[in-house]
Amino acid sequence: MKTRDLVHVALFAAIVAALGLMPPLALPFIPVPITAQTLGVMLAGSSLGARKAGLSLLLFHLLVAAGLPLLAGGNGGLSVYVGPTGGFFVGFLPGAFVIGWLTERAWSRLSVPLAFAINVLGGIGVLYAVGIPWLAVAANLPLAKAALGSLAFLPGDCVKAAVAASVAVTLKRAWPLIQPPRPAGATSAPPSSTPAASPAPSSPRR
């Protein structure tokens, strides 16, 4: 992993945290404001790709578990995990990973509808798949009731997926980070395994 990749991992963990600290994003077409943290998860996945997005969210988990109040509403510490909504938070990591993995696969033909489908699958499907059973166990609720309660978040999450999808497609034009999967050995730049005493050998992506 190059230094650049490490920095990306760190900065996207910071983006997820900063979006949680911020007052909710105001959207034009929905009166309910939307907390932006899961949006950060979707953005990390669709900008960084599976591996870096996964590491990024793992880093975020470490910071929260260590007691830093980085979740929306100033929440943090181990109590986040034992609480009823802990599963949705835990789902951040696999969610971002799945979004990243699918985005890498779809990269060369990424369109807004496709990116939306990917973000729904990873950011809603995976997140809820972890969160709803967790809620059912932690709160002693029947699974169906837990699922029904979570439906309240579905509209907001769909809006977030739509926003993340258009951001992902715009970012693909403005500053692409993901390369489509290529056959092995086709990389042009030599991997920098030597200590970088000279300026960084990697080419800037401009």
Partner 1 sequence: MSLGVYLHRDSPLHAVPAGAKMLALLAAGTGLLLFRSLPVVSAALAVTLGLYGLARLRPREVAPVLRLSAFVLGPLFLMQVWLSGWVFALESVLRLAVLLLLATLVSQTTRASDMLESLERAFRPLARFGLSPARLGLLLSLTLRFIPLLATWLREIQEAQRVRGLERNPLAVLVPLLVKTLRTADTLADAIDARCFDPEEPS
- Residue 143 binds partner 1, judged by CB under 8 A: no
Nearest to 50 by CA among 2, 8, 112, 113: 8
Backbone angles phi, psi at 71, to 5 degrees: -85, 160
Give the C-alpha distances (Å, rounded to integers) separating 173 from 11, 104, 109, 188: 20, 15, 12, 21
Find the binder of partner 1 among 31, 142, 185, 190 (CB under 8 A). Answer: 142
- Residue 190 binds partner 1, judged by CB under 8 A: no
**Which of these segments, 23-31, 97-105, 123-131, 179-187, binds partner 1 (CB under 8 A)?**
23-31
- Residue 17 binds partner 1, judged by CB under 8 A: yes
**Which of these segments, 12-20, 125-133, 150-158, 179-187, binds partner 1 (CB under 8 A)?**
12-20
Q: How large is the greatest C-alpha to C-alpha distance in the chain, in angstroms?
A: 61
C-alpha torsion angle, residues 56, 60, 65, 71 (rounded to 10): -150
Angle between helices 92-106 and 37-48 (to 10 degrees): 40
- Residue 1 binds partner 1, judged by CB under 8 A: yes
In the complex, least distance from residue 12 CB atom to partner 1, rounded to whole angstroms: 8
- Residue 4 binds partner 1, judged by CB under 8 A: yes
Binders of partner 1 in range 29-58 (CB under 8 A) = 39, 43, 47, 51, 55, 58
- Residue 93 binds partner 1, judged by CB under 8 A: no
- Residue 167 binds partner 1, judged by CB under 8 A: yes
Where helices occur in the chain by DSSP H, the ranges are: 3-21, 37-48, 50-65, 79-82, 86-90, 92-106, 112-119, 127-138, 143-150, 154-174
In the complex, least distance from residue 108 CB atom to partner 1, rounded to whole angstroms: 20
Find the binder of partner 1 among 67, 125, 155, 180 (CB under 8 A). Answer: 67
Backbone angles phi, psi at 14, to 5 degrees: -70, -35
- Between residues 137 and 151, which has the closer beta carbon with respect to partner 1? 137
User: What whole-number distance in Å separates Cα of residue 160 and Cα of residue 172?
Assistant: 18
- Residue 171 binds partner 1, judged by CB under 8 A: yes
- Residue 188 binds partner 1, judged by CB under 8 A: no
**Which amino acid appears at position 99 of this protein?**
I
Find the binder of partner 1 among 41, 50, 53, 70 (CB under 8 A). Answer: 70
Binders of partner 1 in range 105-134 (CB under 8 A) = none
